[in-house]
Chain A
């Protein structure tokens, strides 16, 4: 199986080559075009309850689509519904990743996706919501971001401050805490940063170079009110 990024940039697409018998799971509605040797099937990951909890909790679709190369090798092109880059992660099973709810695009069939509940503080203030996706297993995972994507690798003991709602995926080992951007509450909010996430290494953190709530509030000023 090969994962390639085509049309790199703001409107990047993911091209996956499948050998006969191979399968991938993808965010439903992500498929743009595919070979006629492939079959699309919707499947609820982890049964009905798992699917429901993922739908209700992470906002991901109830069904993943499964694309199987049942009648011969073929390729499928996919993209997320918003502009931004795609990054491919090779999971070797030694590490689990947490993924924000819009971040999942596609993965090899051997990659497992589950719902993880964040604690109260993180749920309220991290900008990622109460529920994120926990990715484990081996294989390729394609994540999509709003804006560009940047990988940060943290050494043991290293800390890094990241604005909330810019995180896309992070190693489960690289835990973070929510804190104010500056020392005082007033300056935290007048600086425009408000709350930030302090990550502790070791681990990888993938961040998006734009955040959708920020874009939303920027564009709102141009929308005429009734």
Chain B
């Protein structure tokens, strides 16, 4: 007598497959409808029970028959409930209970696996980002000075490609005089190499390794050499504090970071590739504040009034509120009221130093 519950399954007779409907009788006989006419009755007492598939959630009832092994497959969880109600030998019932539990776990595990992998991937990337973010400054400090110099010299040469450098002796001498004055008071043993680039934009920057670039635009827009000195002292502080290197290392990625830690030279070549970005890196607020403080310190020590730098900041700020466009220098070093206030509040140097040059003539030569 049938329990009148039908299950859908697959019936394999050797390699022949049939999609079937079957029911289980009270006496433990599977009645399989193969096609329209054929009916097959299999006593469950002579079969092997197993869970198969990926995930392992399909019940396989298999037995030996004509032309090889036969199997009835059914993934429906309700089949277990039906089978467990039958009057089957105790070991079979125990096995069924184990398989049912396994099936339930399998179904559950399957649901969780995709979200689990997704969260693992997310954790990996977020973790990687933070690892990179926080370890970059530490790792940047591990970079040997020779590397820094190579990166700087490459960036310096690269920057000058396609740009006109000013050959006028009076302009170059003036800028060199300013840089030399700063050099004596920057607290570092770096030999600076200077290039004056013929460009109208107001810009100046320093690459790692002591390479300094000044545009004629900056010279023309400065009222005195002290203002240029202030801007350069700010830029040099960025280099001394390794702000640019930190940014570069952060952008280089985990592979380069590991390379630096282990002194792998290929990391150097990767940093050199990225170094062309050095002139357009923008710094964060605390780094700017840091560089302003450095500039004040250097200027005061060199006998130059930080007020000149403050005056230059103010002049540029007024100018761009009129013209609406921000000079290149302040696109990468955003200027704020707070920064101007901090610089103008700086103390005057005890001994003052005066640059021995005709600034008006230098400006004219830079035209």
Contacts and interface: CB of A to CB of B under 8 A. Distances in A.
Given A156-B69, A173-B52, A92 B114 contact: no
Contact of A155 (B15, B53, B113): B15
B114 A116 contact: yes
Given A57-B114, A57-B117, A117-B114, A156 B53 contact: no
Interface string A150-186: 0001111110000000000000111110000000000
B73 interface: yes
B60 interface: yes
Interface string B1-30: 000000011101011010100000000000
B114 A156 contact: no
Contacts of A131: 114, 117
A202 B117 contact: no
A225 interface: no
A155 B52 contact: no
Nearest to B57: A172
A173 B73 contact: yes
Contacts of B62: 156-157
B15 A94 contact: no
A155 B69 contact: yes
Residue of A94, A98, A172 with highest tally of chain B CB at under 10 A = A94
B69 A157 contact: yes
A53 B121 CA distance: 12
B70 interface: yes
Nearest to B19: A94
Contacts of B118: 53, 56-57
A92 B21 CA distance: 13
Contacts of A117: 113-114, 116-117
A137 B54 CA distance: 17
A153 B54 contact: no
A200 B19 contact: no
B58 A173 contact: yes
Contact of A202 (B8, B54, B71): B71
A92 B19 contact: yes
A115 interface: yes
A125 interface: no
B68 interface: yes
For the side of the interface on A, what is the size category?
20 to 34
Contacts of A201: 12
B56 interface: yes
B54 A156 contact: no
A115 B110 CA distance: 11
B73 A153 contact: no
A193 interface: no
Nearest to B117: A117
A11 interface: no
Contacts of A202: 10, 12, 17, 60, 71, 73
A155 B12 contact: yes
B71 A156 contact: yes
A94 B9 CA distance: 6
A177 B107 CA distance: 19
Contact of B10 (A94, A116, A118): A94
A158 B118 CA distance: 35
Interface string A47-63: 00000010011000000
Nearest to B121: A56
Contacts of A153: 15, 17
B64 to A, nearest CB: 9
Interface of B: 8-10, 12, 14-15, 17, 19, 52-54, 56, 58, 60, 62, 68-71, 73, 110, 113-114, 116-118, 121
Top 8 nearest A-B pairs (CB, nearest first) are A156-B71, A94-B19, A117-B113, A202-B12, A156-B69, A173-B53, A175-B54, A153-B15
8 contacts: A94-B9, A117-B113, A155-B14, A156-B12, A156-B70, A156-B71, A173-B53, A202-B60
